[in-house]
Amino acid sequence: MLSGVEIQGTTMKKIEHIGIAVKNIESANKVYKSLLGYDHYKSEEVESEGVKTSFFTCGESKIELLEATKENSPIAKFIEKRGEGIHHIAFAVDDIYLEINRLKKEGFVVLNETPKKGADNKLVVFLHPKSTHGVLVELCQEINNNENNL
């Protein structure tokens, strides 16, 4: 809201979720259900990103399984290059715009400077892995979290 105003000490709040690229989300759902001991709470397709997602809670964090729905989706390309596995780590932030400004000043490469609507009712941006030692980092801010965000 106060875009342009520099606030010291904006930080990541917690690991919101870990994104895992999978070839087949139905079979991955079964594996993660066995692993965690409970079922996923949500499936969602994000058409603009060409992915199907499935979310499991795990304490304060979540596991997000991602399957490509298009050949040219980032998940399809990731699996082609590196196989299945951890695709990104997502950090929860209170104000994604402030955080983008802060991280740009720190020299991180922001992939999409305008946050986009991701899965699970979030605004998201990604940082290029080359600026984070090989890890694709997602920042996410809950949309309409009036209760938590004054």
Asked if residue 51 binds Zn ion (CB under 5 A), the reply is no
Compute φ and ψ for 48, nearest 5 degrees: -60, -30
Asked if residue 74 binds Zn ion (CB under 5 A), the reply is no
With tokens 């409970």, the residue in question is 38
Distance of CA 93 to the CA centre of its chain: 11
Q: Which is nearer to Zn ion, 75 or 90 (CB)?
A: 90
Q: Give me 60's structure tokens.
A: 């304060």
Binding mask 7-26 for Zn ion (x = CB under 5 A): ------------x-------
| Binding window for Zn ion (CB under 5 A); candidates: 21-29, 30-38, 44-52, 138-146 | 138-146
Judge whether 96 and 139 are in contact, CB under 8 Å: yes
Footprint on this chain of Zn ion (rule: CB under 5 A): 19, 64, 90, 138
